[in-house]
């Protein structure tokens, strides 16, 4: 069986990636602060280049899914040094190791490489990030594409439950509503939201068929954050009255957010040929 290393397998998407690959591949996952005690897990600090090199050389994977990141745009904006090391510098080390050892690198990127001024972005559309998180991902993508067999999966906003620890994302909509405090939700920020379980299945299929190049992985339809929140509230049996619709620009965030980074997923549909579920179907199916 082929050996695969997944960075950030303790995180939200990483935990599902670990689960879907396990059995068909010999899977190794890395964690940093959230110790995982089941399976093949190794601690890895991506800020330490020697440690990255040592872990890769010990495991000798044929595939690396570089999924770990400073994934919160506000955190990346306020601690640029760490975001640069984790999202960009670590990618350079992994690209080099993979190149020298003939391993395939699959890089988990984001819809936030786009500026959000358009809609339904294609893989060939020009990137133009509006925040530091997006900048680190764009720079890392360029390095990843130096290896011709490498792959980049640009993920849309994902929702659902972590596979290892009992928490849900996005936190603001799955949180404790018992205090009945209103939540401000954007009515005019659009995403191709995708359930994290479905996301992991799509990445697995892409790797199974040895996809290389850039692939957009998102849900079948562009919806606003407000529509997403309403669907999750309905699923949870919570009144949607607690959602306060606000417009982009009415709320100050530490990092700017692109307005509409919905993804055109026609390439994913034609090459992967597995179902991509809407939010209502996914909530029924996976949660």
Ligand X SMILES: NC(=O)c1ccc[n+]([C@@H]2O[C@H](COP(=O)([O-])OP(=O)(O)OC[C@H]3O[C@@H](n4cnc5c(N)ncnc54)[C@H](OP(=O)(O)O)[C@@H]3O)[C@@H](O)[C@H]2O)c1
Q: Which is nearer to ligand X, 1 or 38 (CB)?
A: 38
In this structure, are residues 9 and 48 in contact, taking their beta carbons and an 8 Å threshold?
Answer: no
If one asks whether residue 110 binds ligand X (CB under 6 A), the answer comes out as: yes
Q: Name the DSSP letter for residue 188.
A: S
Q: Count the Cβ atoms, other than its own, within 10 Å of residue 87.
A: 26
20, 86, 151, 207: residue in contact with ligand X (rule CB under 6 A)? 86
Binds ligand X (CB under 6 A): choice among 26, 47, 80, 240:
47
| Pair 282, 197: CB distance under 8 Å | yes
Least spacing, CB of residue 180 vs ligand X, in Å = 26
- 109 or 267, CB closer to ligand X? 109
Let me know if 177 is exposed, middle or buried by CB neighbors in 10 A (0-12, 13-18, 19+): middle
Which of 31-39, 206-214, 220-228, 248-256 is the region at the interface with ligand X (rule: CB under 6 A)? Answer: 31-39
Q: Please pick, from the candidates 98, 158, 200, 214, the single residue that binds ligand X as defined by CB under 6 A.
A: 158
Minimum distance, C-beta of residue 69 to ligand X, in the bound complex (Å): 3
47 CB-near residues (< 8 Å, 6+ apart) = 82, 85, 86, 89, 90
Q: Which residue is it, tokens 């490489």?
A: 113
From the list 12-20, 204-212, 254-262, 265-273, the region that binds ligand X by CB under 6 A is 12-20
* Peptide bond just before 14 cis, omega within 30 deg: no
Residues that bind ligand X (CB under 6 A): 8, 10-14, 31-34, 44-47, 67-71, 86, 108, 110, 155, 157-158, 169
């Amino acid at each position: 069986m082929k050996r695969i290393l997944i960075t950030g397998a303790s995180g939200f998407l990483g935990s599902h990636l670990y689960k879907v690959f396990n059995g068909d591949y010999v899977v190794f996952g890395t964690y940093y602060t959230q110790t995982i005690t089941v399976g093949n897990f190794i601690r890895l600090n991506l800020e330490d280049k020697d440690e990255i090199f040592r872990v890769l050389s010990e495991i000798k994977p044929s595939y690396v899914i570089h999924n770990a990141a400073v994934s919160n745009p506000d955190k990346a904006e306020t601690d640029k040094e760490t975001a640069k090391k984790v999202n960009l510098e670590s990618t350079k080390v992994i690209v080099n190791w993979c190149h020298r050892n003939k391993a395939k690198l699959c890089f988990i990127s984001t819809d936030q490489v786009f500026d959000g001024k358009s809609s339904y972005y294609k893989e060939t559309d020009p990137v133009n990030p509006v925040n530091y998180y997006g900048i680190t991902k764009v720079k890392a993508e360029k390095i990843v594409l130096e290896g011709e067999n490498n792959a980049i999966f640009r993920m849309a906003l994902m929702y659902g439950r972590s596979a290892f620890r009992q928490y849900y994302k996005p936190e603001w909509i799955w949180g404790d509503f018992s205090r009945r405090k209103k939540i401000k939700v954007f009515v005019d920020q659009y995403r191709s939201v995708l359930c994290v379980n479905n996301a992991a299945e799509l990445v697995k299929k892409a790797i199974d068929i040895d996809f290389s190049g850039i692939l957009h992985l998102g849900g079948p339809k562009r919806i606003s954050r407000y529509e997403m929140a309403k669907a999750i509230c309905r699923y949870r049996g919570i009144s949607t009255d607690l959602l306060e619709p606000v417009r982009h620009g009415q709320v100050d965030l530490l990092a700017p957010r692109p307005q509409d980074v919905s993804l055109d997923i026609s390439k994913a549909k034609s090459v992967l040929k597995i179902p991509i579920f809407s939010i209502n179907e996914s909530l029924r199916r996976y949660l």
